[in-house]
Amino acid sequence: MAVLLLNASLQPLNVISHRRLVVLLTKERVAFMDGAAEQAAAEAVAGRRLPEGVVIVRLLRTIHVPRRLLRPNRRNLLLRDDHTCQYCGHVGTSAELTVDHVKPVSRGGAADRWENVVIACKKCNWRKSNRLPEEVGLHLRRKPAPLTQEYAHIIFLRYPELKAAYDRLLAVA
Ligand SMILES: [Zn+2]
């Protein structure tokens, strides 16, 4: 079961654990979006067994959410670059793809900046090695930029079943 937590304004906030859901329910901080889900969850919590499928809960009071700072880690880079080598355009599985520093760290490139890291296939990464793209005839397909999408978009990319449930919720709201 996946639990999607919405702000009181219905903005998606996060995916939370069952344990966290029970804590929030106990503290009366959240409400279920519909009666059927509430009943199913109440029965499940009483029986210590959680319902199947997606549960959406909503905070009773709006909280202020600061802009999330996403880090340029491998997982976020794969999302930003759509699992696509930024040099040759090869679309691969995560196992086939590597993280490449456009300007190599050994030559003064930033190790941890969105603008200096891209997803590259192993072939291009090997070809590029410790050089700049232009030195080996490679060209970036687009300028690397920070991942600026809403955090909710990232949640939904990771949990497509929550996106479907959220869309259904908005359709009836
Ligand atoms: Zn490539």
Structural domains in the chain (count):
2
pTM for this predicted structure = 0.56
* Distance from residue 159's CA to the centre of ligand 1 (Å): 28
pLDDT attached to residue 105: 96
| Same domain membership, residue 62 and residue 19 | yes
Name the amino acid, one letter, at 1: M
pLDDT at 86: 97
- pLDDT band at residue 66, thresholds of 50, 70 and 90? low
> Per the structure block, which two tokens stand in for 19?
């344990």
Of 2, 1, 6, nearest to 170 by C-alpha is 6
Q: How far is the CA of 107 from the centre of ligand 1 (A)?
A: 21
pLDDT band, residue 25 (cuts 50/70/90): confident
Q: What is the dihedral of CA 68, 73, 75, 76, to 10 degrees?
A: 40
Q: Are residues 56 and 31 in the same domain?
A: yes
Question: Per-residue pLDDT for 106 more than 90?
Answer: yes
- Cα-based torsion angle of the residue sequence 79, 83, 87, 89 in order, rounded to the nearest 10 degrees: -130
Report if residue 144 sits inside a domain: no
Which of the pair, 85 or 4, is modelled with greater confidence?
85
Span from the CA of 155 to the centroid of ligand 1 (angstroms): 27
**How remote is the CA of residue 151 from the centroid of ligand 1, in Å?**
28
Least confident window among 16-25, 89-98, 105-114, 164-173? 164-173
pLDDT of residue 1: 66
Answer yes or no: is 141 within a domain: no
Shared domain check, 59 and 103: no
Are 112 and 130 within one domain?
Answer: yes
Mean pLDDT of 71-93: 91
Residues 9 and 45 in one domain: yes
Average pLDDT over every residue of 61-84: 80
Classify residue 30: in a domain, yes or no.
yes
3-class state of residue 101 by DSSP? strand
User: DSSP alpha helices (H): ranges in the chain?
Assistant: 18-26, 35-46, 74-80, 122-128, 151-158, 160-172
Distance 64 CA to ligand 1 centre (A): 41
**Residue 113 resides in a domain:** yes
Q: Cα torsion at 143, 148, 154, 156 (round to 10°)?
A: -110
**In-domain check, residue 142:** no
Give the CATH number of the domain where residue 130 resides. Answer: 1.10.30.50
Expressed as residue numbers, the domain containing 56 is 2-67+149-172
Summarize pLDDT for 114-166 with one digit per residue, the tens. Answer: 999 999 999 999 999 999 999 999 999 999 988 765 666 667 777 777 777 77
Domain annotation covers residue 32: yes
CA 70, 16, 168 angle in degrees (round to 5)?
95
